[in-house]
Copies of this chain bind each other. A is one copy, B any other.
Amino acid sequence: MAFSITILGSSAAIPTSSRNPSAIVVNMDYSYFLMDCGEGTQIQLRRSKLKMQKIHHIFISHLHGDHYFGLVGLISTLNLLGRKDELNVYGPHDLEKIIQIQLEASQSNLGYPIVFHITNPNEAEIIYETDEHYVKSFPLDHSIETTGFLFSEKQKPRRIKKAFLYYDFDVPVEDILKIKAGADFVTDAGKLYKNIDITENPPQALSFAYCSDTKFYEPVVEYIKNANVLYHEATFMEDMRNVADEKFHSTALGAALIAKKAQVGRLILGHFSARYKNLDNLLEEAKSTFPDTELAADGVTIKLDANEKTRL
């Protein structure tokens, strides 16, 4: 069990000396997913000590440069380092041709396959799924087509109480699976054990939601409901709400309202305008509405399973 995110870039469109453009690595049980890939992400990956060849899925929220200008460089470097494994890239329609034109100009023959998956900017879709996890894209409200992403564990089956398993009768394997799925159990002697008495709730399925670039957009609440951690952009403060709306960005207060309505566990604010040299007021603005708020910082890892934060 492992579920964590590592923030590689938390600036808005213009990078600063301490904040790179958008990029986050998600680790779900040691499968690694990259979300957005601003310029310099490959260097941030190198600094973070995360093995870049372990990434098999890259998700691009939209085609503003600060969210993907680092992708072609990362693809090239993975190739130079000898990659053979397939890479899946999920993003808007034009992404594939933008990458291809650059690979063609350099006469690069990649030694590994890339599979492009076009995201749907109009409705939520599960775009990646295994027995344990899934990733869902969902629409945001930005100046160009943009999706957010939800990374989630699947709900695990109910747990059988240990005391029940120690009773003096054998429970066949197929019955164990049925009990986990909610069935009662009847012994050979005809005694009934109700499911509610012999099972307990499974651990909570953890989830992480990412709202990259969006104006205040209440429909996202249904997609990110109860997420343990929400990373939401907060380019501006509320006193610049007009500018935020005009540029299809959020304020810190707007992000906090979304977090509150969605009843998430923790809110991480990111994508800060370079105009804010000090972010204390921006943080306070959000905290006034949603106390469990913190500021994103490049290089920080946040563990969902242990409620921990570490700095690389």
Contacts and interface: CB of A to CB of B under 8 A. Distances in A.
Interface of A: 13-17, 20, 39-40, 42-43, 46-47, 63-66, 69-70, 72-73, 76-77, 80-81, 92, 94-95, 97-98, 101-102, 105-108, 143-144
A13 B82 CA distance: 13
B76 A65 contact: yes
B77 A73 contact: no
B46 A106 contact: no
Nearest to A39: B73
A17 B40 contact: no
Nearest to A20: B43
A70 B39 contact: yes
A17 B299 CA distance: 14
A61 to B, nearest CB: 12
Given A77-B13, A97-B101, A144 B106 contact: yes
A272 to B, nearest CB: 14
A143 B107 contact: yes
Contact of A42 (B39, B47, B98): B39
B107 A16 contact: no
Contacts of A94: 101, 105
A16 B46 contact: yes
Given A39-B39, A70-B39, A102 B65 contact: yes
B42 A17 contact: no
